[in-house]
Each structure stands twice: as structure tokens, then as C-alpha cells.
Amino acid sequence: DAGVTQSPTHLIKTRGQQVTLRCSPKSGHDTVSWYQQALGQGPQFIFQYYEEEERQRGNFPDRFSGHQFPNYSSELNVNALLLGDSALYLCASSLPQGAETQYFGPGTRLLVL
Amino acid sequence: QKEVEQNSGPLSVPEGAIASLNCTYSDRGSQSFFWYRQYSGKSPELIMSIYSNGDKEDGRFTAQLNKASQYVSLLIRDSQPSDSATYLCAVNKGGSYIPTFGRGTSLIVHP
């Protein structure tokens, strides 16, 4: 049973650039959530996708956008990168009925220079 | 007041002792409560969920919930060095499936 996968594992970008992160949910899951975790902090909710639509969004600017594909995989896009965007980006998948239980992927560590 | 508060620690306990991790939350309508373990450089791993007042035991782990006091705790019995990690408390506010996380408590179990 494949768990949640994310790519790439690490990424280095410079300020102003754009980045795309990818996530494949756990087998049988159709809901994907994205989180940002800064060093020493808990994960902060960015948004959640279900049925290819953004279902809920946290307090993040429009520079953060996403997409969900028909196979339930998802992308997180961040435009105009800032130094403060450096963080671990986590993808979590869940079932819609059991959506309270989220399973996290290994994360993508983004460094913005 | 933060929505979910945890002491960042570190909490240091000797091997074999009971580690007690605490979490308070601000929304009285919260219904679901979770404890995640996160090793350094890794992603969070769900270890316990609790929904009703009282205790819930799973192996060496016991989650305790007191909704009147807006308090949830995690006890780890017979602590092992492999339990050394950051423990994240997460709370689903009423009507939401999205967890709000605390900043985590760092636990160090020394031999």
C-alpha cells in the first residue's frame, strides 16, 4: 500500500522565482491538504483540494495556488518567492468521510536564497 | 491567546520514566484531538486520536481529554530513547476537518 509521496525532496530557489511541488495521495484517498512548516513551528494549513477544487483555504496570500488532477494527485505553486517562504512543505491525504485523520507525506524542504 | 498552545520544551526524562506532554486549546467547540510525533527532519506521524472526555490507551501511550478545562495530554510510559522527538498537538475546531497544530513539545529521553 503506497503511502503519500512528494517530490522533490529538497529544492533551492532564489527570491522572486516560482516553484511547483507535487504530491500523490495514499492509495484510496481523494482529498489532499497542503501545509507549511517553518523551523520550530507546527504545520500551518495552506489549502485543501477535493474533486479537483479548492475546498478550504488557510491564511496564505494568493501567491500560493494549487491544483488537483483527476487521479487525485496535487500540485502546490508558489510565485514571487520570498525568503520567508523557506520551510518544509507537507502534503497530507485523507478520505472525505474520515477526513479528520490525515496521513502526511515526507515533505519537500524549500530554501529560498 | 493562541488556538493551540504547547510548551516548546525541551522536556527531558530518563529512560523508563513517564513523559507527560500537555496541550491547551481555545475553541470550546473543538471535537477532535490528535497527537503527532515528528522526528527531526521527518514528517508528522499520527500516534493517537481522542474524541471523548477521559483516557484512551494504546500500548505505552495514553491520551487524556478534558473538554471543560480545554486540555489534552499525552502520557508515554516506559519512555525509550527512540521516543525522543517533537510531539505535536492538533485540534479540529467544531465543524472543521482541518486540524490546527500547536508548535510542538520537544521530548528528550536520556539513557
CA distance B25 to chain A (A): 14
User: What does the DSSP 8-state code read for residue B18?
Assistant: P
Residue type, B30: S
Reported as a single tens digit per residue, the pLDDT across B7-29 is 988 999 999 999 999 999 999 99
Of all residues in chain B, the one with the smallest CA distance to A6 is B43
Reported as a single tens digit per residue, the pLDDT across A67-108 is 999 999 999 999 999 999 999 999 999 887 656 788 999 999
In sign, the C-alpha dihedral spanning B24, B30, B35, B39 is negative
Pairing of strands A10-13, A108-112: parallel
How far apart are the C-alpha atoms of A81 and A14, rounded to whole Å? 7
User: What does the DSSP 8-state code read for residue A42?
Assistant: -
The pLDDT of residue A101: 82
Coil/strand/helix, residue B81: helix
Sites in chain B below the pLDDT cut of 50 = none
How crowded is residue B95: how many other Cβ atoms within 10 Å of its Cβ? 8
The yes-or-no verdict on residue A16 having pLDDT over 70 is yes
The pLDDT of residue A97: 62
Residue type, B57: E
> Cβ contact (<8 Å) for A90 and B44?
yes
The pLDDT of residue A102: 87
For an interface test with A, give the residue of B35, B36, B43, B87 to mutate (most A CBs within 10 A): B43
How far apart are the C-alpha atoms of A74 and A84, rounded to whole Å? 23
Mean pLDDT computed over A63-69: 97
Helices (H) and strands (E) in chain A, counts: 0, 11
Mean pLDDT computed over A50-76: 95
How far apart are the C-alpha atoms of A21 and A4, rounded to whole Å? 13
Higher-confidence residue of A34 and B93: namely A34
Q: To the nearest whole number, what is the mean pLDDT of chain A?
A: 94
The pLDDT of residue B96: 79
The pLDDT of residue A1: 63
Of all residues in chain B, the one with the smallest CA distance to A38 is B103
In this complex, is the C-beta atom of A3 within 8 Å of any C-beta atom belonging to chain B? no
The pLDDT of residue A99: 61
In this complex, is the C-beta atom of A105 within 8 Å of any C-beta atom belonging to chain B? yes
Query: What torsion, rounded to 10 degrees, do the Cα atoms B78, A41, B5, B35 define?
Result: -40
For an interface test with A, give the residue of B98, B101, B105 to mutate (most A CBs within 10 A): B98
- Residue B34 CB contacts under 8 Å (≥ 6 apart), including other chains: A100, B46, B48, B49, B50, B89, B90, B91, B92, B99
For residue A71, what is its C-alpha cell?
A: 487521479
How far apart are the C-alpha atoms of B37 and B48, rounded to whole Å? 9
In B, which residues are within 8 Å of A101 by CB distance? 46, 49
Residues 18-47, chain A: which have Cβ within 8 Å of B? Answer: 33, 40-45
